[in-house]
Homo-oligomer: A and B are copies of this chain.
Amino acid sequence: MKTIFRLFAVLLAIGLLAMTMAKPTRVVFFGDSITQAGVKPGGYIDRLKSMLPAGQFDLIGAGIGGNKIYDLYLRMDDDVIAQKPDVVVIWVGVNDVWHKASSGTGTDPDKFIRFYEAVIKKLQAANTRIVLCTPAAIGEKTDMTNQQDGDLNQYSQFIRNLAKEHNLPLVDLRKAFLEYDLKNNPENKDKGILTTDRVHLNDAGNQFVAEQMQKVLTSLK
């Protein structure tokens, strides 16, 4: 009898191990055009694939150009929760700020917070782990003279506060980009260090973001 139990236990352990090995952590990157480009060869999600332990992560891009926080809310059932993710990385905010000036269709501060909270609440109800990111940059000048610096700092602060309140891991890309640019942008250029056009990532930018994401994803295990 004992032998049979032992055998069963061993088989069970093997089975569980197999299941663990068979089921990598499913990560959805939920965002805007930066994330949409992230799945392309050389994009930050593409780079992450070879930077994470083999077989342990499934990385899925769910970025759509021009998206603001309320666009994420609208499409999260179809594009994120339907994917049954273990982890959702939310990276949004550039368009909420930028579109104020470029088309008069940015997002009010109070509504940014309200929709962000609604997204978090829905993801928590779907039992996923959540990682928040601050918007990196609209312009790379390091002396706080990029037009949207104040507003982008404000919205980044909203996200930092949400991370604290909800006890969620944060990738503070706003802070990381500024620190990187302070070291690597001595000429105070507005693009070309981590971005091609003040917003979207160049090769160095994709590599830099991939490294930041790698840290938080491996720390989740």
Residues of A within 8 A of B (CB): 66, 70-71, 73-74, 99-108, 111, 114-115, 118, 139, 143-154, 157
Contacts and interface: CB of A to CB of B under 8 A. Distances in A.
Interface of A is mostly: helix
Contacts of A152: 150
A149 to B, nearest CB: 3
A102 B106 CA distance: 12
A23 B150 CA distance: 46
Given A101-B100, A103-B101, A105-B105, A111 B150 contact: no
Top 10 nearest A-B pairs by Cβ distance?
Answer: A149-B150, A100-B104, A145-B154, A145-B153, A70-B70, A147-B151, A150-B150, A105-B108, A146-B150, A104-B104
A102 B100 contact: no
A151 B114 CA distance: 26
